[in-house]
Structure 1
């Protein structure tokens, strides 16, 4: 049966969002901002991408959206992105790369590997709120993504 397409913002959709970031200060601010902008989403934080990949191998643990830090100790964001995009069960999940470093080469690689966007981490909490409002509007209201397996 072909995959169907469902708006992420569907009222019956319980959004599950993953954040992969090893910086505890960034994680704290991100969680506060995300839950303020996405009050009904379920957020799971992972300090290591391998733990996230292992959890995703279990049925029912597939998020609708992943925020992935580009620079982390092994494995870094590009390695995790590669694992997500080569797996047919996960390749459809939108991945938003977050980075605090201006690195055009690694940003280009992220796009080539299938990242939906690369975003510079905001300097201020208010900027983070604005960013997440745009993400919410696009990914949870406008975008249509495949649901189910083909």
Structure 2
């Protein structure tokens, strides 16, 4: 028996994207609107701003996409701040990278990233990634309780 995806079968989810590249963020937003219409996406160009917003428990996301390579603070520094804070440590974080640096990828996993994904080079690849994320993170796994 095949299970089919319907947007009504998934409750609204809050997703954060932290990326300093405006074009990448815009394409990501369009893709999320298309593939995950049940998601409310908040985009941050700086991880420090996202951490400030997280101080309010009602703004706790279900999932965070975090660009690994940004100006200060970079994604790994933000990831470390998320994972050492007990309030936020259980929020799944998917790191996005455009650079093939095995040391940084290993460090991301050591710091607690759930996944490291290469930034796609085409819109089609981005759609495939977001569809995979939708199926895995919002249909297959159980996420921590949200307050």
1:128 partner SS: helix
Which structure 1 segments of 5+ residues have no match? 1-8
Note the 1:1-150 alignment, pairs <5 A: 11=9, 13-147=11-145
Larger relative contact order (Cα-Cα within 8 Å, sequence gap ≥ 6): 1
What is the CA-CA distance between 1:13 and the residue it aligns to?
Answer: 3.0
* Cα distance in structure 2, aligned partners of 1:148 and 1:35: 22
Alpha-carbon deviations, 1:95-118, whole Å to 9, x = none? 000011111110000000000000
- Sort the Cα spacing of 1:76 and 1:126 in 2 relative to 1 into closer, same or farther, 3 A: same
What is the CA-CA distance between 1:59 and the residue it aligns to?
Answer: 2.3
* Cα distance in structure 2, aligned partners of 1:38 and 1:10: 11
1:28 partner SS: helix
- Sort the Cα spacing of 1:45 and 1:75 in 2 relative to 1 into closer, same or farther, 3 A: same
What is the CA-CA distance between 1:148 and the residue it aligns to?
Answer: 5.1
- Sort the Cα spacing of 1:92 and 1:101 in 2 relative to 1 into closer, same or farther, 3 A: same
* Cα distance in structure 1, aligned partners of 2:37 and 2:11: 13
Count of aligned residue pairs for this structure pair: 141
The TM-score normalised by the length of structure 2 is 0.91
Alpha-carbon deviations, 1:37-90, whole Å to 9, x = none? 101210000000000000000120100000000000000000000000011111
2:96 partner SS: strand
* Cα distance in structure 1, aligned partners of 2:139 and 2:112: 21
1:60 partner SS: helix
Q: Which has the higher helix share?
A: 2
Q: What's the RMSD between the two structures over aligned residues?
A: 1.6
